[in-house]
Amino acid sequence: MSLRLALLADIHGNVAALEAALTEIEAAAPDHIFILGDLVQNGPRPAEVIDAVMALEAGGAYVIAGNTDIAVADGDYAAAFPWLDEVSAAHRAAAEWARDRLSHEQLEYLRRLPAERRLSFDGELVLGTHASPGSQTLGLPADLDAAVTVQRATRTDARVIACGHTHVADVRELGRKLLVNPGSCGYAFDGSPDACWGLVTLEEGEDPRAELFRAGYDPSATAEEVAERGLAGDVYRAATIRTGRFVR
């Protein structure tokens, strides 16, 4: 007996990337989908992304909120970006623009999303979280100090920690724990603009394992939509979408 989980994170309003990843996920036919937050801010199609995510959840997907979902839904910028001494006009503009394009129902959906979801299989626990166990903003980047990584990862009993936030695809073992970051499906920082997603497999009596995938789509078309919008910071957002590298 086995369980296969598809992972998506950090869509950031890029519905074209989401659709590309979902085409591959549908072909892979996982048992469940985890969507790990940061659904709408920065990209050009926030409402379409929310509609797609709501449909996936209705079909059984596990969906959580990320830090930028707080910014969009409630305008609590200090909570969304606590590492910034001052939240920039560019961050506020992108959040407000997305908020204005979501319906009341869609905003209420964002507000209702939990910060974490859990699933149990064969006595092992899988945690879906945006950044790290217990936090939507303290991530698990590969270059994080090892002691801090252990401190953050051991705040849960989960055998598998599925997380996003860094926009960099990564699979690591930490003792018995498996850390899986599928990267960003729509706003990647790791050198490829393709739509990232991951697949975790759990089998009875076996160690969990994970694979990372990148679905191709046309990032230039999405980048052009962003550039034409004309918000503060959009030239950098468009370049990030086009190149798969964080540009600022």
Per-residue pLDDT of 136-155, as tens digits, reads 999 999 999 999 999 999 99
Phi and psi at 156, nearest 5°, equal -145, 155
State mean pLDDT over 11-17: 98
Distance separating alpha carbons of residues 38 and 137, to the nearest angstrom:
11
Which whole-number Å values give the CA distances from 78 to 58, 114, 196, in the listed order?
31, 19, 28
Mean pLDDT of the chain: 97
Cite the DSSP H helix spans in 34-145: 46-58, 67-74, 77-80, 89-100, 104-112
**CA nearest 180: which of 172, 192, 188?**
172
Q: Which residue has the tokens 């879906």?
A: 128
Structure tokens at 242: 């086009």
**Residue 133, both tokens:** 């166990």
- pLDDT digits over 167-226, tens only? 999 999 999 999 999 999 999 999 999 999 999 999 999 999 999 999 999 999 999 999
How many residues make up the chain in this entry?
Answer: 248
Domain 2-243 has CATH 3.60.21.10: yes
pLDDT of residue 139: 98
Asked whether the beta carbons of 70 and 80 are under 8 A apart, the reply is yes
Q: Quick check: pTM over 0.95?
A: yes
Q: Indicate the domain borders of the chain.
A: 2-243
**How far apart, in whole angstroms, are the C-alpha atoms of residue 232 and residue 248?**
11
